[in-house]
Structure formats: structure tokens, C-alpha cells
Chain A
Amino acid sequence: EVQMLESGGGLVQAGGSLRLSCAASGFTFRSYAMSWVRQTPGKGLEWLSTIGGSGVSTYYADSVKGRFTISRDNSKNTLYLQMNSLRAEDTAIYYCARGSDEYYHFWSDYWGQGTLVTVSS
């Protein structure tokens, strides 16, 4: 059974940092691109970043480029999101999602349960 479990969310002050993790199981992790998607009441679902199966290729939304870094450890079946220079508007539920393929993550066929990040100003 495919499972993904996010952790690392919490309350942080504006300007601070957090690292989210997503522990995956039930599939060959390195064979799938993985992404982070966040959800806020005001902006709905927002794709943030994708990383290819090997970890070489990465893609970012403009809203987080230069502040967030996606990475993965295929030996630990774990996806990460390092979030720096956090802003109040980064407050959201953060989901990790498995992509449809190894390279481009066209659609997300499995999602984690999400972890809440709250940035206080």
C-alpha cells in the first residue's frame, strides 16, 4: 500500500525556517518524481516544487523560488522541503504528492495527509 507521511510543520516566526519531511513507503521511491503542494483557504491548491526521481531535476513556483529547496534521499525513501525566509502568506497545509512518472510529475496519484505550517508575523 502506498503511504506518505509528512512531518516537520509547526509555528514559526516570519523570517524563520522549517524543514518538512515526507516519508514514503509501498512503492519504489526512486522511480517517481515527487512534489510539494500547499493549500490555503484563500488561494486553494498551489503547486510549489517538483523533483525528479534521481534528484537531479528540480522545478519551483515563482512564489518560493530562492526561498524553498526541494530534495530527496532515495536511500531513506524521504522527500524534503527546506523553507527559509518564511512569510505570513506561507501559512498553509503542505502536502507531498507522488507523481505520475519519474521525470515530470504530470498528475499526482497519491497524496500525504498534510502538515500545517503557521507563520506568525
Chain B
Amino acid sequence: EIAMTQSPATLPVSPGERATLSCRASQSVSTDLAWYQQKPGQAPRLLIYGASTRATGIPARFSGSGSGTEFTLTISSLQSEDFAVYYCQQYKNWPRTFGQGTKVDIK
């Protein structure tokens, strides 16, 4: 099983600032990685797949990068609606596995 580790657990950021979230895989997943956003009381929403491709309707301020074992989700200028929990997920192998999440908090 591929373990996904996200850091930090909590990221305090001021509105308008840049946020950088990390995700590390225990073995290479190539670019078979997705990012999701989840707000309280809501289901996860797909942001990024293929490590760097934005899903339909996702604003350009969200960008993903990385390959192999190291990945980054960057939110270039945080808007109020971006304060949420973000999860990475690998789909290289079964079982599909998620990171434990990074909560982006208001600083």
C-alpha cells in the first residue's frame, strides 16, 4: 500500500497570500495524483488530477506540480472561499490512498 503524507497539518494564511501545501508518497506514483478540497459539511471536490491538470471549473489560482514522490498544491492568492481542508490521493496502485489532509486556516 502506498502511504501518502501531507504537510503541514495546519497552514495559517492571510487572505491574498500564497499557500503551498505538500504531499509525499511512500513510493513513486509518477503523476498519478489528485488533489481535493473539502469544506465543513460538504463532500470533497476535485481540484487537480494528473498532478497538474485543473479540473473543470477550478480557478487558475490553484496549481499542482511534482512527480514521483513529491507533490505541491499552490494557491496563488487565497480567497475567503479557499479556507478548507485539502487532500491528496494517489491512483497509481490499488488500494487508492489519501493523505491525512492539510487544513488551510485564516491567519
Contact = CB atoms under 8 A, between A and B. Distances in A.
Interface of A: 35, 44-47, 50, 59, 61-62, 95, 100, 104-114
Interface in B20-63: 32, 34, 36, 42-46, 49, 55-56
Nearest to A43: B100
A107 B35 CA distance: 9
Contacts, number: 53
B98 interface: yes
Given A44-B87, A45-B87, A107 B95 contact: no
B89 interface: yes
A106 B44 contact: no
Given A45-B87, A47-B95, A114 B101 contact: no
Contacts of B94: 59
Given A108-B44, A112-B43, A114-B43, A44 B100 contact: yes
Top 4 closest pairs, chain A to chain B, by CB: A111-B43, A107-B34, A47-B96, A106-B91
Tier of interface size on chain B: 20 to 34
Chain B at the A interface: SS class: loop
B65 interface: no
Contacts of A104: 91
B45 A107 contact: no
A107 B98 contact: no
Given A59-B94, A100-B49, A113-B43, A107 B89 contact: yes
A98 to B, nearest CB: 10
17 contacts: A44-B87, A44-B98, A44-B99, A44-B101, A45-B87, A45-B98, A47-B95, A47-B97, A47-B98, A50-B96, A59-B94, A95-B44, A107-B89, A109-B55, A111-B43, A112-B43, A113-B42
